[in-house]
Amino acid sequence: MAALWLLLLIAAPQEAPRKGSYRLPYEENKTYPLTQGNHGKVSHTGYCEFAFDFGMAEGTRICAARGGKVVDSRDDLVKGGTGGGNQIRIDHGDGTFGLYFHLKHKGCLVQTGDVVLQGDLIGLSGATGNVTGPHLHFQVDQAGKSIPIAFEDVESDGGLPKDGKSYTSKNTPGIPAETKDKLTALLKATKLAEQEGAWGLVHLLSKKIAEEKLAVKYPPQDDARRKAEETPKRAGEAAASRDVAALFRARAAFEGAPAKPIAEAIEALKSDPAFPDAKSKAFYWELFYKGLKEEIEGRLPGARSRYKNILSNRTDDDLRARAEARLKSVEAKLAELHLKPASR
């Protein structure tokens, strides 16, 4: 069952991988301004109509906006020259080519024939060719002319950088775009599960994140393994708590977590006067986490029904407030999907 909802999460329409996606052509977490965009009056007309110029100092590290095979690389110009100067051309495999112009002398860090992934370091910016100063000129060609594209890590302006504005790259080295899309969906779901204390879901999602990262040799592999192993430990510690409500929340949430500490804690609490009420709380906390799973999986009507059930039957503040907040979020999503919410 756990594997099923994880697959559903990955396959959810709103998080579907975007084939042919582009990310800003420089290092992750670096920020640079766009000095000239599409249809620029200075030089972005005709063949270069859909180009982008990013202002950056000479020697700035340039990364592949999209993966592919290097089909041309030139860095013999010391300075000056015509056109794009020192440059790299990458074949994306679907009839489109990424072009990186004005690189510095000896600024190509890849050679013709190399295969690169999105985010891989490929060169160093410069001021060769027809330029007024150092910058990176990037464009995508198809059938001998530039074509319009958008960057998925430009969250504003529809993914299309605007002149004079600065943009921060999320171009993680060595990870294919499809994997990055999966990780984005998983991290979003993990954040929601952590917010609601659903550590069993966090555990399963963390394992999936680690698998995705390790599959592409994501640099901090030890960190990925540590996070995958961390949540069962946290689950076991919380399950041993003497707090009755916390105990039953743990039982509901810690799927795949160590069962022995939970069972031992339940046994120890059987003589507690609050135990009967805890059973009732347990039912509705389990209902809440089932609703949360359905929400993460994209089964919004089912999640809405469970949250409404809680609001109709529980008065304790913490659970009621959580359910009410989740219900508002679910109904907003349903409204976006043009589905009429059920009557209250």
pLDDT tens for 5-20 read 444 344 443 333 334 5
Residue 12 lies in a domain: no
More confident residue, 337 or 70: 70
Q: Do residues 199 and 331 both lie within one domain?
A: yes
The partner residues of 333 in beta bridges, in order of sequence, read none
Is the four-CA dihedral 49, 28, 208, 331 of positive or negative sign? negative
Query: What confidence category does residue 158 fall into, taking pLDDT thresholds of 50, 70 and 90?
Result: confident
Tell me which residue of 25, 20, 62 sits closest to 149, measured CA to CA.
20
Start-end of H helices in 196-299: 199-215, 221-239, 244-253, 259-268, 275-297
Summarised one tens digit per residue, pLDDT across range 208-262 is 887 877 776 555 445 545 555 555 555 555 554 545 555 555 555 555 555 566 5
pLDDT of residue 290: 86
Pick from 133, 168, 203: which residue ends a domain?
168
The partner residues of 74 in beta bridges, in order of sequence, read 87
- Long-range contacts of residues 240-243, Cβ cutoff 8 Å, at least 24 apart: 240/264, 240/265, 241/265, 242/268, 242/269
Q: Do residues 204 and 268 both lie within one domain?
A: yes
Residue 23 lies in a domain: no
**CB-based contact 167:182 (threshold 8 Å):** no
Helix, strand, coil percentages (3-state) for the chain, rounded to 5, are 45, 20, 40
Q: Do residues 125 and 238 both lie within one domain?
A: no
Rounded alpha-carbon distances, angstroms, from residue 181 to 18, 95, 275, 296, 312: 8, 23, 45, 16, 38
In this prediction the pTM is 0.53
Strands (E), the chain: 31-36, 52-55, 61-63, 68-74, 86-91, 96-108, 115-116, 121-125, 135-142, 145-146, 166-168
Residue 162 lies in a domain: yes
Average pLDDT over residues 129-141: 95
Give the best-scoring range by mean pLDDT among 23-27, 195-199, 293-297.
23-27
Q: Do residues 284 and 307 both lie within one domain?
A: yes
CA 86 distance to own-chain centroid: 33
Q: Pairing between strand 31-36 and 52-55? A: antiparallel
**CB-based contact 203:254 (threshold 8 Å):** yes
pLDDT of residue 292: 87
Number of structural domains in the chain: 2
126: exposed, middle or buried (Cβ count in 10 Å: 0-12, 13-18, 19+): buried
Helix axes 275-297, 199-215, angle to 10 degrees: 30
Domain that holds residue 295: 177-336
Q: Do residues 182 and 316 both lie within one domain?
A: yes
Residue 22 lies in a domain: no
In this structure, what CATH number is given to the domain that contains residue 111? 2.70.70.10
Tell me which residue of 218, 221, 253 sits closest to 239, measured CA to CA.
253
Tell me which residue of 294, 284, 216 sits closest to 251, measured CA to CA.
284
pLDDT of residue 316: 66
- Residue tagged 């009056």 (tokens): 41
pLDDT of residue 105: 93
Pick from 168, 196, 223: which residue ends a domain?
168
Q: Do residues 194 and 50 both lie within one domain?
A: no
Tell me which residue of 32, 62, 81, 57 sits closest to 134, measured CA to CA.
57
Q: Do residues 192 and 233 both lie within one domain?
A: yes
Residue 24 lies in a domain: no
Q: Do residues 48 and 94 both lie within one domain?
A: yes
The token pair at 28 is 């992750």
Residue 4 lies in a domain: no
Average pLDDT over residues 302-331: 88
Q: Do residues 96 and 228 both lie within one domain?
A: no
Give the C-alpha separation, 275 to 273, whole Å: 5
Q: Do residues 331 and 193 both lie within one domain?
A: yes
Q: Do residues 150 and 55 both lie within one domain?
A: yes
Helix axes 259-268, 221-239, angle to 10 degrees: 20
Tell me which residue of 199, 192, 216 sits closest to 250, measured CA to CA.
199
Residue 140 lies in a domain: yes
More confident residue, 236 or 95: 95
Residue 341 lies in a domain: no
pLDDT of residue 284: 82
Give the C-alpha separation, 86 to 102, whole Å: 5
Pick from 123, 147, 168: which residue ends a domain?
168
Q: Do residues 46 and 191 both lie within one domain?
A: no
pLDDT of residue 92: 92
